[in-house]
Amino acid sequence: MRVFITGAAGFIGSNYLRHLLATSDHTAVAFDSLTYAGNLDSIKDLLGDRVAFVHGDITDRAAVGSAMEGCERVVHFAAESHVDRSITGPDAFVHTNCFGTNVLCDVARQIGVERFVHVSTDEVYGSVEQGSSSETDAVAPRSPYSASKAASDLIALSYYSTHDLPVIVTRASNNYGPYQFPEKVIPLFATNLIDGARVPLYGDGLNVRDWLHVADHCTAIDTLSSRGVSGEIYNIGAGNEITNRDLTDRLIELCGRDESAINYVPDRPGHDRRYSLDCSKLRSLGWAPAQDFSVGLSKTVKWYTTNRRWWEPLKNRPGLRA
């Protein structure tokens, strides 16, 4: 099988490409526009007979059509994804996440792919004060980023209803692991702490997130690619709900620092207090996360400690958002 992977040089996309090559005999087209969060160094060692890299934008219909030809499966990771950036520059989020998803779905419809996995986020449900979000809950996004992802979910699902495109929508909790762009909280905090710098903690630090190791996300996508039902939404979470302050304390301990490394900064506008997912629908298909959070976090910090050559140039780029 030939798999078309968008955002393949990004965090989750690059990890999925590695997973695909290690666990199957599939070939892949790695499609990425290499914006600030896309890094060819994350997949350069994978390029060859089984992986063709195409530098292209998902909003470019001609480029998508040419690159997707001959592919049986699409796994769509590509997205503008940083909430802070969406607050100050929302246009790129609507253009890429909504228009780009529409282009991909329409091209996939014309080619006749066998499976289209649209990768989304738990943030579309909005802040969840109590309980957990199920796939049948109404979306209630509270940032331009999450609103653009909620809209892209509906665009993808409309192609199932209208054209029978075999779409599955996944909504995952916060991911962590290697090759994550260092403006996201875990790699940002870890690399700051490694360098002896302080970490910017929003508000009171009591916002709650569920942390999913990227390797577990990859196995969930495999499960859904083969056993998921077209036209359905599936939540993907690990049940590791902790506050941002607790996460910060764990990173501080792993990096051998102390509480003085915390710099409390003003909260961002519309900061969701808590996300929580009911993942029973996915678990009924036989999937379960394999990575213990404490072990996974320790391995992740160790990866950033030993891979400075990967992240240091990224942190030195102008305009990095901390």
Q: Which domains does the chain have, with CATH numbers?
A: 2-175+210-236 (3.40.50.720), 178-209+240-271+294-315 (3.90.25.10)
CA–CA gap between residue 21 and residue 291 (Å, rounded)? 20
pLDDT band at 317 (very low <50, low <70, confident <90, very high): confident
Residue-level pLDDT at 85:
86
**Per-residue pLDDT band at 59 (split at 50, 70, 90):** very high
* Residue 34: per-residue pLDDT: 95
**Per-residue confidence (pLDDT) for residue 163, from 0 to 100:** 98
- Region label for 160, one of left (φ > 0), alpha (ψ between -120 and 50) or beta (otherwise): alpha
Query: Averaged over 93-120, what is the pLDDT?
Result: 97
pLDDT at 319 over 70: no
Q: What is the pLDDT of residues 202-234, one digit of tens each?
A: 999 999 999 999 999 999 999 999 999 999 999
**Strand ranges (E), the chain:** 2-6, 27-32, 51-55, 73-76, 115-121, 167-172, 174-176, 199-202, 208-213, 233-236, 241-243, 262-265
pLDDT bracket for residue 322 (50, 70, 90): low
Report DSSP state, residue 318: T
Mean pLDDT in residue range 112-121: 98
**3-state SS assignment for residue 306:** helix
In tens, the pLDDT along 250-292 reads 999 999 999 999 999 998 888 889 999 999 999 999 999 999 9
* Full-model pTM: 0.95
What confidence score (pLDDT) does residue 316 get?
Answer: 83
The span from the CA of 16 to the CA of 218, in Å, is 6
DSSP bridge pairs for 168: 117
Q: From CA 285, how far away is CA 274, in angstroms rounded?
A: 26
Phi, psi of 156 (to 5 degrees): -60, -45
Catalytically active residues, by annotation: 122-123, 145
Q: At what angle do helices 185-194 and 293-306 cross, to 10 degrees?
A: 50
Mean pLDDT of the chain: 95
